[in-house]
Amino acid sequence: MIYSSSVLNPLEISLSHNQFNFFQSRHCVLLGYSRTCMEYGLHILELDVGDEVLLPDFICDVVLSPLNSLGLTPIYYSVNDSLEPRYERIERQISKKTKAILTVNYFGFPQPYDPIRAICKKHGIWHIEDNAQGFLSHKGDQPLGTFGDLSFTSVRKTLPLKNGAYLCLNHPTLIGRFQSSRYMPYWEKEPCKTFYLKRFLRWIDMNTFLPLSKFRKEKSIPKPGSGELEQKPFGMDPIAKWLLFHYDLQSEIKKRRRNYALWLQFFLHSPVQPVFDHLPDGVCPFAFPVYVEDQEKWLNWGWKHGIEIRTWPTLPLWVYHNRPETVERWKRLLLFPLTKSPQNILKRTQ
């Protein structure tokens, strides 16, 4: 698939119909998944087999899939409990083979970008912004997903769509390469009927009194490393595209921010520790992340009350075996969903 700049921006055009023009970058392409955007982006960086990419060690294993398919080596830097990179250590990990640093906008919250940009500039390496969880989120007036030299954003994680993600090129050199790229990604439609049927049942569950959640199957926690080779098709499903262009995005932001505030209030005097105890203006949170002492207890609590609390991330196998501090954090972190208002449950349990 070859793109010319005139067809790069269907999302921008359509979202401006929604009076919600969140793109500042004019060089974007809609694809199926964040990992496919990342693979496309890495291809545009023109890296060689064996080149190194620095990644935070608190990350989901599926980001390894594009690195694996291009023969690139991940080097993990650590982050603190506020999920900010430990900048002082990153520089020591940069070698001649390091070509890019990836940062993550965890749960839709922005990172301090200046320190990472300074490091990238000093060493002549690219900044990749992983905004998989930050669709609709801003830092000041600028949308997340436009801060890196290249950035990718997942739409499907915030909206109930089968797939959907976009890659943005924000650096003049990369824009030039992108426009002349003859890259032919693997393009295939994904079956999606069952997905939308399940979404419809979930909608009934959330909006009616039918007790469908009683029939939900309990999900097990995925094993570290289980997604490292998991590839996905490149294209975005046409139904997902249609739904995206007709979605009320402002309501989605309002709903997520309101539910985040409710969870904050609920845990105000509790030992449960929100990862971010303040919701800055402009942030559209992906979930309500907390640190707990007893993960199992809260997972059971969620199950009992029909709230889909989950763990995150499925760590890369190497991290699981070599970074005990990160594994400890993984065992303390839980994500509370923001899709459904917790008001009724909170009233019942308070």
Angle formed by the axes of helices 238-245 and 10-17, nearest 10°: 40
Intra-chain end-to-end CA distance of the chain, in Å: 55
SS3 131: strand
Among 130, 149, 205, 228, binds ligand PLP (CB under 6 A): 130
Q: Does 25 bind ligand PLP (CB under 6 A)?
A: no
CB of 227 to ligand PLP, least distance (A): 8
Q: Specify the pairing of strand 150-154 against strand 165-169.
A: antiparallel
Q: Which stretch binds ligand PLP (CB under 6 A): 2-10, 18-26, 30-38, 76-84?
A: 30-38
How far apart are CB 17 and ligand PLP at their closest, in Å? 25
Long-range contacts of 262-269 (CB under 8 A, 24+ apart): 262/341, 262/342, 262/343, 262/346, 263/288, 263/336, 263/338, 263/342, 264/288, 266/342, 266/346, 266/350
Stretch that binds ligand PLP, among 60-68, 79-87, 188-196, 253-261 (CB under 6 A): 60-68
Interatomic CA distance for residues 279 and 334, integer angstroms: 17
Q: Say which amino acid occupies 132.
A: A
How many CB atoms are located within 10 Å of the residue 55 CB? 23
Q: Of the listed pieces 31-39, 143-151, 273-281, 299-307, which binds ligand PLP according to CB under 6 A?
A: 31-39
Q: Which of residues 148-187 bind ligand PLP (CB under 6 A)?
A: 154, 165
Which residue number, 22 or 40, has a Cβ lying nearer to ligand PLP?
40
Handedness of CA 317, 318, 324, 328 (dihedral sign): negative
User: How many residues line the site for ligand PLP (CB under 6 A)?
Assistant: 12
| Residues constituting the chain | 350
Q: 138 by DSSP, 3-state: which?
A: strand
Determine if 61 is a binding residue for ligand PLP (CB under 6 A).
no
Does 60 contact ligand PLP by CB under 6 A? yes
Of residues 53, 132, 161, 338, which one binds ligand PLP by CB under 6 A?
A: 132
Q: Among residue numbers 292 through 321, which ones bind ligand PLP (CB under 6 A)?
A: none
Q: How far apart are CA 240 and CA 19, in angstroms?
A: 20
The bridge status of strand 288-291 relative to strand 273-274 is antiparallel
Asked if 33 contacts 163 with a C-beta cutoff of 8 angstroms, the reply is: yes
Nearer to ligand PLP, 188 or 293 (CB): 188
Taking CB under 6 A as the criterion, the residue among 11, 28, 30, 35 binding ligand PLP is 35
| Minimum gap (Å) between residue 330 Cβ and ligand PLP | 13
Closer CB to ligand PLP, 37 or 47, in the complex = 37
The 3-state secondary structure of 79-103 reads: ECCCCCECHHHHHHHCCCCEEEEEE
* Shortest CB 236 distance to ligand PLP, Å: 11
Q: Is 34 in the site for ligand PLP (CB under 6 A)?
A: yes
Among 55, 62, 101, 315, interactor with ligand PLP by CB under 6 A: 62
* Window 77 to 116, contacts with ligand PLP (CB under 6 A): 104
Shortest spacing between CB 58 and ligand PLP, in angstroms: 9
Q: Which two tokens stand for residue 83?
A: 């999920």
Cα distances from 108 to residues 23, 74, 101, 105, in angstroms, run: 16, 23, 19, 6
Q: 149, 141, 146, 143: which is closest to 119 by C-alpha? A: 149
Q: How far is the CB of 21 from ligand PLP (least distance, A)?
A: 23
Stretch that binds ligand PLP, among 20-28, 127-135, 182-190, 273-281 (CB under 6 A): 127-135
Q: Least CB distance from residue 308 to ligand PLP, whole Å?
A: 15
Instruction: Determine, following the binding rule CB under 6 A, whether residue 63 of this chain makes contact with ligand PLP.
Output: yes
Least Å distance, CB 104 to ligand PLP, is 5
Chain contacts with ligand PLP (rule: CB under 6 A): 33-35, 60, 62-63, 104, 130, 132-133, 154, 165
